[in-house]
Every structure is written in C-alpha cells, then in structure tokens.
Amino acid sequence: MPAHVDEAKVIACAHIVPECPFTASAATEEELIQKVAAHAAQDHGITEITPELAAKVKAAIKRQ
C-alpha cells in the first residue's frame, strides 16, 4: 500500500446556494472546479465566476 494516497475533493453546492442538492467529487481541485462551473451555469445561470464566488467555492471544498 502506498505511503501517501491523495484524497478526493468533494463539494456540496448547498454550502454556497442553500437547498441546492448538487454534490460533486473529483481527484483534483481543478477537476472539481470544472464540474462546479458547469453546474453553476446549467442550474443557476451563473456564467461568470467572480473572485468572491471563486473564494466561496474554494472554501467549500473538502477532502473525502
């Protein structure tokens, strides 16, 4: 077994948009942010990620 195994990154949209059931996980933060951006555009109509929103998203990312 490897001495170090990277943990997956997870996010729940409800941490940013109350009552949104969307959750996602990915191996890297970059991949997770891509999934979150696609969700934000499709389900919330957010097409521009402001620095403030990006900070909220990064703060909501947890290790699985």
Does some domain include residue 40?
A: yes
Number of structural domains (the chain) is 1
For 9-37, what is each residue's pLDDT tens digit?
A: 999 999 999 999 999 999 999 999 999 99
Token readout for 35 is 């999934």
Does residue 33 lie in a domain region?
A: yes
Is 3 a domain residue? no
Distances (CA, A) of 63 to 7, 9, 10, 25, 57: 6, 5, 6, 9, 14
Mean pLDDT of the chain: 91
Confidence of residue 2 (pLDDT cuts 50, 70, 90): very low
Lowest mean pLDDT across 2-11, 18-27, 51-60: 2-11
Tell whether 54 is covered by a domain: yes
**What percentage of residues in the chain have a pLDDT greater than 90?**
86
* Predicted pLDDT at 6: 64
